[in-house]
Structure 1
Amino acid sequence: MIDGDAQWSLARRLWLSFLGLYFCLNIVPLMVLSVPLVDDWFGMLWLTLWVKLMPILGNAALGIEEPISMELGGSTDMTWNYVQQFWYLVLATVGAVVWAILPHRKWPLPAQYAWLRIIVRHGLAMMMLSYGFIKVFGTQMPPLGPAELSRTYGESSAGGLLWSFMGFSHFYQGFTGMAEVIGGALLLWRRTATLGALVSAGVMAHVVVLNFCYGVGVKIYSSLFLALAVFLAAYHARPLVDLFVRGRPATLADPPPVLSRRMRIARIILKGVVFVSILETPVKLAIRQAAPKPAPGPLDGAWEVVEFVRDGQVHPWSQHDELRWRQLVIPPYPVAMVRGMRGQKTGFGMALDEAAGTMTLTSFADPKVIHALALERPAADELILRGPIAGAEVTVRLQRLDTEHAPLMTRGFRWVIEEGFN
């Protein structure tokens, strides 16, 4: 690392200023959103700010005609996220030009570089540990249930296929999570930060490839985390090349920055906040897993429609029938999902009254759509529903699918495999 400001070229000043501003615009809000007690308050404030800005920065400035949705839908690759990243790049570019040409006598550029690395490695550590812990506890990709086991490959999205693959093996998901936890933990200390950056870069490179190849909606942030890890590792680029490529002895020297008393106090407070934020995730997950699980309901599982009668007319099995049901899936909570013949899914809230023999389905998309159906149980694995649906009298006969004994769930691990079972 070059110690004097005079040896920093204008190009290097611009590059440092640009990366510093762009990384901080991204990582600092994410860090605040991870802090207990202020996360909900700041999250609402942050989202409200962008709701107000999006018609100006997105529709007016970029010529986007359609309204830009800000509803949280399990994706951080929405239109508004790309608009946000565009303006981050603009702000970082303009700010870099201004910042790079200003004199920095009171705060030398090497000190700025050191503090940028401190912020980046703590922010990246928080993200790596957070995502790692939810994999270790098996909550990011939940185990396969009736909804996953009863659908066909063709009905799966690419992201759903990846989620099922990861959720099938708790050990493999935990293994990948531990790799993220190890990388994040190493980033918390300056002496192990380079090793943590290398581990995190390797882990995140794999995550980025999966997200791009399987269309998972976190491509922006996973790419950002990979860039942060590469940025941290690049500090020791020359000695790392000497060690791993040229086979020469190398020293990874990273002297601590010279700090005033106030800055030392600020760093201690930052570390304390980071550690509290990091510990919150595993504590919450441990409490959630220790909590008693709800007992399965009598109708939980996947039900195949064997007969569908609408206004007295039998609808035979046909992939082109948009009215006929194919499956009714009931997870272990008051929710139901109807699969149509083309694989389309409709979610409902479900109220079951076995004593009265009724099942009430309330559409999630339109709560005004309510189906009050009479329920019969001729046998434990048979179900008959009767009542008005979409303006017609419908009778649906269903049979429970035995998803628990599917080959995927019963094959298990085997050391000796005489014949391929694929």
Structure 2
Amino acid sequence: MNHPTLVPDDTDTGTSRAEQVGSGPPEPSRHVLLWWLHGATRLLLAVMLLFNGVIKLGLWQFGHPDVGEALIALGEMSPMGLLSRMVGFSPLFQLLAGLAEVGASVALIWRRTVVFGALVSTASMTFVLVLNLGYDMPAKQLAIALLVMSLVILAPWAKRIVVAIIGDGPVPAAVRPRLFRSERPQRLARVIAPVTGLVVLMATGLSVAAAQPTSSIDESLPSGVWRAPADDSAQGSSWEDVALGNIRTDGAATAQVRLRDGSLLTGTYVREGNTLTLTLRPLQQPGQSALQYARTPAETVDLAYAADGDDRLTLSGDQDLALERDANGSLLFDRGFTWKIRADDPFER
């Protein structure tokens, strides 16, 4: 059985061919320019990967499952909403995806790990593109651009990678990026370039993390899913079901209201003492952009609430109704995600 033969790579010893045999012939100017463009692509891709990775590691991109979204039915969701909720329910998925992107970003900074970083980036962006296409996400073009950038970075080592995988013939020596025609500034670039790239990545990561909203979990009343009793049709309220979230982002948590006519209102609520202020809109419609939806008039509802134990809630103010806790309506959020082995068996419904 024939095995690939590795051609000795002088770069593995840290000494270039030019240093071994003298200054060597100068690098053609067009090659130097291409390496500068290659380096700029590496840095840009690294920054974009780091941004995407940090917001995944912090669970900011897809967020946490919130019981305030419990009322929307599967058939009412868009494919994008379905994917966002599915990924949000798996912190493990988000952490692994974030580690892959952050790891690829850092690997792209150093010459000896650039191929590994570009390979991880290529695999990651291929997977992201498939998800974006399969679930009608809006970032298809961005995923394609990042995938193309990853392949561009791999291009100088493409033959080496293919031969190493196929295993037919000797593996070509690794290509060394050259930013300067002469050797002295080239040696300085080997130190300055990765340090500069690492500083840029650190500044990017810190700024992204600092720009994210603050969040906290408050599972006290009135959070949960509440339903009007079946025999209260005599009440004058147009509301039937209410879901109030327990994850507060900059002070506001998610809220949904199912009306008696079957339509759904969604938005947020703020609690101050025993007073709730809800800001609600109908669901975003097909063909309506996110900006248009954000500009649609929102209904503001001010309510006072009183709890009778943990299972009964009375709302008064702009709406007057008595509600009972619907424990079955929040099972998805109550069960949630756990790192532990469950005592009961998983079940599908």
- For the criterion TM > 0.5, the same-fold answer is yes
The match for 1:217 is 138
The match for 2:63 is 142
Answer 1 or 2: which has greater helix percent. 1
Residues 199/306 of structure 1: CA separation in 2 closer, same or farther (3 Å cut) = same
The match for 1:398 is 323
**Counterpart of 1:236 in 2: which secondary structure?**
helix
The Cα shift of 1:255 comes to: 2.4
Q: Which stretches in structure 2 are left out of the alignment for 5+ residues?
A: 1-26, 282-294
Q: Is the 8 A contact 2:224 2:245 kept in 1?
A: yes
> Which whole-Å CA distance do the structure 2 matches of 1:226 and 1:130 have between them?
16
The match for 1:409 is 336
The match for 1:337 is 255
Q: How does 1:22-421 map to 2 (within 5 A)?
A: 108-245=29-166, 247-259=168-180, 271-280=194-203, 283=206, 293=216, 295-306=218-229, 324-333=239-248, 334-341=252-259, 342=262, 344-354=264-274, 358-362=275-279, 369-388=299-318, 394-402=319-327, 403=330, 408-409=335-336, 421=348
Q: Is the 8 A contact 1:130 1:278 kept in 2?
A: no
> Which whole-Å CA distance do the structure 2 matches of 1:419 and 1:348 have between them?
32
- TM-score, scaled to structure 1: 0.58
The Cα shift of 1:213 comes to: 0.8
Letter in 2 for 1:239: R
Aligned length: 300
**Counterpart of 2:136 in 1: which secondary structure?**
coil
Residues 362/382 of structure 1: CA separation in 2 closer, same or farther (3 Å cut) = same
> Which whole-Å CA distance do the structure 2 matches of 1:386 and 1:416 have between them?
41
Q: Is the 8 A contact 1:384 1:397 kept in 2?
A: yes
Deviations 1:297-333 (A, max 9, x none): 53123323446979x6667xxxxxxx54432323433
The match for 1:100 is none
Higher relative contact order, chain-length normalized (CA < 8 Å, sep 6+): 2
- TM-score, scaled to structure 2: 0.69
The Cα shift of 1:122 comes to: 1.3
**Counterpart of 2:125 in 1: which secondary structure?**
helix
**Counterpart of 1:377 in 2: which secondary structure?**
strand
Deviations 1:111-145 (A, max 9, x none): 12111110111111122222223323333222322
Q: Is the 8 A contact 2:67 2:244 kept in 1?
A: yes
> Which whole-Å CA distance do the structure 1 matches of 2:130 and 2:201 have between them?
26
Letter in 1 for 2:153: L
Deviations 1:386-414 (A, max 9, x none): 333xxxxx422222343368674389765
> Which whole-Å CA distance do the structure 2 matches of 1:407 and 1:383 have between them?
19
RMSD: 4.0
